[in-house]
Structure 1
């Protein structure tokens, strides 16, 4: 069994892996996402040089590399599994952003921001990009570190003002990229998607399977939960 370390505090990503038979070791990074994006844009000689998929990938990389650095120290967190300490494992970082009307949208700043987004998005569509980055930190692994992005077009229902107000009042849209979910309260507000639904949740399982295959790890080698 190969240990998978999830460098994310997202309950949706954890639930997605669990539903696929994988119980990861969760170790949340301390990456300042806004600062990471500002620094990357500065390196690209302008505030708008990064595409939405680039932002998703660079944040996934930052989270993954930050956790990999923690696990590379002499003293790892006390909760680190013995199996990882002995044989290492694979570290996974993910991040999602919504590309809408030429803007790159992460989590809303506040309720007013979430409400304004839904007023703009209702009856229209956007593209949800989820970046994935892995570090092969197995003792006998490849040592590879690389990433990929999965993108899915999301078509939003034409909500009325009362529906938007009710949804924002739940607080859910404040904690998710793009201010919506398909696996939570906003599931009824997404009419259809074009692409992998797991990508919209925040972790594209088909893409992750392909990435693992590149380093010689079969998907079933991650299964560690009883049926």
Structure 2
């Protein structure tokens, strides 16, 4: 019997990645206030004397908030998967750029350099007969960027793609030409780490192949 999976993300890349391995999830996008989630995480870290949250913790907190929001708001009857991604580059954290100018400035900082793409994954077992467990982990992959010219940066931004994705780049789309190599999980850079997802659902007592339609 197929175990239903619900993707709490509007990312086409995440949906495509799951479909590529035979998983056809339902999709519901959460209305989580990401700034509020990060502010609460930062406050907790300061109260505990832990300093500033690192990017791996930040994306995990956002992924958890998304999954738990959907599980709380809807009777999903499924395993709910929340995800979030950020690029870490020389101590700076980059999510989706809000404007073309921000994307341009980011690529001017990124070109010829190396960053780490962090993708948080959180699962909530919201099945009536499931374990009702809740757990997650972060996939972190090193990404090497090509040394783009200003004209190349402008041409890429003109496509609109960089404005839609964390870190202002893709590895599976138009941005693939500007990534010279990765160290780690390719799918984690795309948006959902399949090996990590397999490990997490296994911990919930579900075989990965049972997610396939």
- Which string of whole-angstrom CA distances, capped at 9 and with x for unpartnered residues, describes residues 125-146 of structure 1? 0000000000011222111101
CA RMSD, Structure 1 to Structure 2 (Å): 1.4
Partner of 1:162: 151
With the length of structure 2 as denominator, give the TM-score of the two structures.
Answer: 0.95
Query: Which one of the candidate residues 27, 52, 55 is aligned to 1:52?
Result: 55
The 2-side partners of 1:40 and 1:201 are apart by 25
How far apart, CA to CA, are the structure 2 residues paired with 1:171 and 1:41? 32
- Where does the alignment leave 5 or more consecutive residues of structure 1 unmatched? 73-83
Q: Which residue of the partner structure matches residue 40 of structure 2?
A: 39
1:108 matches 2:87: no
Q: CA deviation at 1:191?
A: 0.4
Q: CA deviation at 1:35?
A: 2.1
Of 163, 167, 173, the residue aligned with 1:178 is: 167
User: In the comparison of the two structures, how many residue pairs are matched?
Assistant: 210
Deviation readout 1:113-169 (Å, 9 max, x if unpaired): 110111111111000000000001122211110110011000001111100000111
1:43 deviates by 2.3
1:104, distance to aligned residue in structure 2 (A): 1.3
TM-score between the two structures when normalised by the length of structure 1: 0.89
Runs (4 or more) in structure 1 with deviation over 4 Å come to none
Matches within 5 A, 1:72-111: 72=75, 88-111=77-100
1:69 is aligned to: 72
1:39 Cα deviation from its structure 2 partner = 2.2
Could you say which residue in structure 2 is the equivalent of 1:28?
A: 29
1:7 correspondence with 2:5: no
1:124 matched to 2:125? The reply is no
- Unpaired segments ≥5 residues, structure 2: none
Deviation of the 1:45 alpha carbon: 2.0
Could you report, residue by residue, the CA deviation over 1:48-95 in whole angstroms, capped at 9, with x for unpaired residues? 6110001110000010011001124xxxxxxxxxxx5xxx22000000
